[in-house]
Chains A and B, each alone.
Chain A
Amino acid sequence: MAGKGRSGKVQSRENRNGYLFVMPWILGFFLFTLLPMVFSAILSLCEWDIVTGLSTIEFVGLENFTSMFKDPKFWQSLKVTFKFCLITIPCYQIASLFVAFLLAMDIKGMKIFRVVYFLPSIIPTIAATMIWTRIFAQDGILNKSLSVIGIKGPAWLTDRNTALYALMIMGLWGVGNTIIIYLSGLQGVSEELKEAARVDGAKGWQIFFKITVPMISPTIFFNVVMAVIGSFQYFTQAYVMTEGGPMQSTLFYNLYLYQKAYKEYQMGYASAMAWVMFIIIMLFTMLVIKSSSFWVYYQNDDKL
């Protein structure tokens, strides 16, 4: 891809400058990131109680992987995580794009709205947990509102059929960051192009799908890739709110992994799980990247 049909001199300049600018990250990668990754890869073939210190690491081959595939909790956590991802990745993206679209409008008082929609993502988890537990309670605000329209809501977090959905609903409050990214992407959409289409008689929704969406497709691409990477590793809220319960209905993959590592001190097993997750995420990310040539439009020839 690089350097095709270019003179050696130009290419060498590109190499020099390119590496010069990405050098900080490459350095950081070798200094802080690579070793821990390699270490965890090695650990996935070992047994280690963590708290007993490094001297107690023992090589066990593929044992972690074989026992993992026989572990029903492993499969349960995979199921929960996939279900969560399949639903939330598209839903959150559509919702945030929609809100960002509204927030990008030039309306009085919009500054306040932007702050309001960003607010939920800044409440520290520890406080948010307490509040959400009560919102989802049997007699909580959510069910009280539902009863107004005649629906008798469940005890969201203590009902094994609804706990996962409760977390999904709660997650909507955390999409502030995604909204901001879409908002900044929408700033780049050319008014002239939209105007020209309007003159040609295009309707609002046509403009949106034919002009706005393609123009922000690099931003959509970014958000989708990050959503894939992030959703498969969903952890914090499940950890503090449900601890995987009730009846393992919110036992997310990374939560189970954490429990294995830090509650049962099986770092080897946890590392093996982590690498399986790595491969899963890698596969899905590659899928998005491969598909991007059909739907992502770059200003420059910047395809990944």
Chain B
Amino acid sequence: MKLKRVTAILLATVMSFSLLAGCGSSKKEEAPAKDTTEESGDAQTAEKEEESKADTDAGSESAAGGEKTVIRVTKWGDDKPAAENTLVEEFNASQDAIEIQLDVVPGDGYGDRLTTSFSSGDGYDIFLSGEGDFYKWVDLGMVEPLDDLIAADTDWQNPMGESVMDMGVVDGSQRYLVKDYNPICLWYNKDMFDAAGVDYPSESWTWDDLYEAAKKLTTKNENGEFETFGFQAQSWNYAVDTYLESLGFSYVSEDYSTAEGYLNSQGVADALDTYFGWTEGDDRISPNAADTDTYGDGTAMMINNKLAMFITGGWAKTGLEDAGVNYATALVPGNHAAYFCASGYAISSSCKNKEAAWEVLKLLTGERASELRAQNEAAFPTAESQLQAVVDSLSDDQKALLQSLDYSVPPIGMRGKVGSQVNQVLGEVVERIVYHDADTMTILNDALEASKQK
């Protein structure tokens, strides 16, 4: 009986505490009567949209001002201030209708932040995504189609070229506006080529030529330990896939409808065997995973004159230049087809004020944004007008970066549902091939089956 009383006291305390806490927060939310329960997600009706401002994710102080529409934006970032910081500052100061709240998250935690904030069904209004996830978010129903907003906005002067705009199209509908993009190509260390007396990569190079050159560029010391490597055959899917594409292979059919007979074709299997064969044995020309643990990634190895060639994107530029490396870029051998990387902003489907969000989206990917990005970021800006400035700033040694744009193909993750499914199993494919878990053809067949389950 005593225990009952204790329990009663306990419950009373708990309840009063949560009430207290509730009051504490209600001063922010203005509407304590709107006792949203955990099922609030399905109550996203029109009437709620009217009070949208008060109901954005906790932490927004939107209701306090009453007039400004708050648009919450998130992106990943690093230690440098991004163009967005300036944009948002300028924008918020320039008008009274919309207030942008920008949350820059360290890359390591970005995924988790996004997941938790969306778990309530009421996350960020605008978020940044890498091209590899473009399809995934759409498939999960998290991304608002932009077509209607674009059609309604007759005044909008699209600063982007068609090909850049198309990077944000998923299943025939515009879902993202790309903020910047980065073609990948072949990077090489000129000093190492000079020292070994090997001709620089040329436009007519085939992968066989690359292999021959890499062999000459791979050296060992008197103890038989590797001193330099000719080319890095990375396990990074984009490098692997670029190799395949430039040989004319693809994991999926041209209309993106099936992977059957593509992913598990003999050609792909043989090519993968050749590629990963370069990282094996004492006569290898490429560092393997154990080597990169010792010497660092491709950029670090090239800085220390340990690596002559690798495939990467424009982000390598800063590191190489800071270290004073005498580098140059070249088109990928073969048919020059290469993946590009892109990142784009999307309006989330839970966003309650789409028109305002659209204004912000235009800002984040507009002319001024490109101008800011062109000044201090490695990727290419999306506005055509700004691209020229960047192009002009490229030295001859960097020109291939731009040229490879003409040959670029969308990464596998952007090629429809099938491509996205395949993309999710590629990591395992590479790992199993590298560790000789089974015959490559078997691995690819397994992967095909696994991709259908995704």
Contact, chains A and B (beta carbon distance below 8 A) = yes
Which A residues fall within an 8 A CB radius of B? 12, 15, 19, 23, 26-27, 30-31, 49-56, 126, 133-134, 136-140, 155, 157-160, 245-247, 262-263, 265
B38 contacts A30, C-beta separation under 8 Å: no
Task: Give Cα distance in the complex from A19 to B111, angstroms.
Answer: 42
Q: Which of A52, A53, A133 contacts B293 (CB 8 A)?
A: A133
A247 contacts B435, C-beta separation under 8 Å: yes
Task: Give Cα distance in the complex from A133 to B289, angstroms.
Answer: 11
Question: From A8, which residue of chain B is reached at the shortest CB distance?
Answer: B2
Known A27-B10, A31-B14; judge A54-B38 contact (CB<8 A).
yes
Known A55-B42, A138-B294; judge A265-B108 contact (CB<8 A).
no
Q: Quote the shortest CB–CB distance from B428 to chain A (angstroms).
A: 9
Task: Give Cα distance in the complex from A159 to B289, angstroms.
Answer: 10
Q: Quote the shortest CB–CB distance from B250 to chain A (angstroms).
A: 25
Task: Give Cα distance in the complex from A54 to B113, angstroms.
Answer: 16
B140 contacts A246, C-beta separation under 8 Å: no
Cβ of B396 < 8 Å from any Cβ of A? no
Cβ of B205 < 8 Å from any Cβ of A? no
Task: Give Cα distance in the complex from A160 to B289, angstroms.
Answer: 12
B119 contacts A50, C-beta separation under 8 Å: yes
A55 contacts B41, C-beta separation under 8 Å: yes
The size of the chain B interface, using a CB distance under 8 A, is 41
B293 contacts A49, C-beta separation under 8 Å: no
Cβ of B68 < 8 Å from any Cβ of A? no
Question: From A154, which residue of chain B is reached at the shortest CB distance?
Answer: B290
Q: Which of A12, A31, A51, A55 contacts B18 (CB 8 A)?
A: A31
Known A49-B140, A247-B431, A265-B115; judge A55-B121 contact (CB<8 A).
yes
Chain A residues lying within 8 Å of B289, measured Cβ to Cβ, are 155, 158, 246
Cβ of B33 < 8 Å from any Cβ of A? no
B435 contacts A53, C-beta separation under 8 Å: no
Cβ of B315 < 8 Å from any Cβ of A? no
Cβ of B212 < 8 Å from any Cβ of A? no
Q: Quote the shortest CB–CB distance from A24 to chain B (angstroms).
A: 11
Chain B residues lying within 8 Å of A160, measured Cβ to Cβ, are 435
Q: Quote the shortest CB–CB distance from A256 to chain B (angstroms).
A: 14
B119 contacts A51, C-beta separation under 8 Å: yes
> Would you give 13 A-B contacts (Cβ < 8 Å), ordered by A?
A15-B6, A23-B10, A30-B10, A31-B17, A52-B118, A52-B140, A52-B141, A133-B293, A138-B291, A155-B290, A155-B293, A247-B432, A263-B111
Cβ of B122 < 8 Å from any Cβ of A? yes
B118 contacts A51, C-beta separation under 8 Å: yes
A50 contacts B431, C-beta separation under 8 Å: no
B17 contacts A54, C-beta separation under 8 Å: no
Task: Give Cα distance in the complex from A50 to B114, angstroms.
Answer: 10
Chain A residues lying within 8 Å of B6, measured Cβ to Cβ, are 15, 19
A54 contacts B39, C-beta separation under 8 Å: yes
A262 contacts B111, C-beta separation under 8 Å: yes
Chain A residues lying within 8 Å of B123, measured Cβ to Cβ, are 51
Within 8 A of A (CB), among B1-24: 2-3, 6, 10, 13-14, 17-18
Task: Give Cα distance in the complex from A262 to B108, angstroms.
Answer: 13
B41 contacts A53, C-beta separation under 8 Å: yes
Cβ of B322 < 8 Å from any Cβ of A? no
Chain B residues lying within 8 Å of A27, measured Cβ to Cβ, are 10, 13-14, 17
B10 contacts A26, C-beta separation under 8 Å: yes
A246 contacts B435, C-beta separation under 8 Å: yes
B40 contacts A54, C-beta separation under 8 Å: yes
A134 contacts B294, C-beta separation under 8 Å: yes
Question: From B17, which residue of chain A is reached at the shortest CB distance?
Answer: A31
Q: Which of A55, A139, A159 contacts B39 (CB 8 A)?
A: A55
Chain B residues lying within 8 Å of A55, measured Cβ to Cβ, are 39-42, 44, 121
B293 contacts A137, C-beta separation under 8 Å: yes
Task: Give Cα distance in the complex from A57 to B111, angstroms.
Answer: 21
Q: Which of B140, B294, B431 contacts A265 (CB 8 A)?
A: B140
Task: Give Cα distance in the complex from A15 to B437, angstroms.
Answer: 62
Task: Give Cα distance in the complex from A55 to B40, angstroms.
Answer: 7
Chain A residues lying within 8 Å of B44, measured Cβ to Cβ, are 55
* Max chain B Cβ within 10 angstroms of own Cβ: one of A12, A49, A54: A54
Chain B residues lying within 8 Å of A159, measured Cβ to Cβ, are 290
* Max chain B Cβ within 10 angstroms of own Cβ: one of A15, A158, A159: A158
Cβ of B142 < 8 Å from any Cβ of A? yes
Q: Quote the shortest CB–CB distance from A59 to chain B (angstroms).
A: 13
Chain B residues lying within 8 Å of A265, measured Cβ to Cβ, are 115, 140
Cβ of B112 < 8 Å from any Cβ of A? yes
Q: Which of A30, A52, A246 contacts B121 (CB 8 A)?
A: A52
Chain B residues lying within 8 Å of A247, measured Cβ to Cβ, are 431-432, 435, 437
Known A55-B42, A137-B290, A247-B437; judge A50-B115 contact (CB<8 A).
yes
Question: From B42, which residue of chain A is reached at the shortest CB distance?
Answer: A55
Question: From B106, which residue of chain A is reached at the shortest CB distance?
Answer: A126
Cβ of B365 < 8 Å from any Cβ of A? no
18 extra interface residue pairs, beta carbon distance < 8 Å, beyond A19-B6, A160-B435: A15-B6, A27-B13, A31-B17, A50-B115, A50-B118, A51-B114, A53-B120, A54-B38, A55-B39, A55-B41, A137-B290, A139-B225, A140-B294, A155-B289, A245-B431, A246-B431, A247-B437, A265-B140
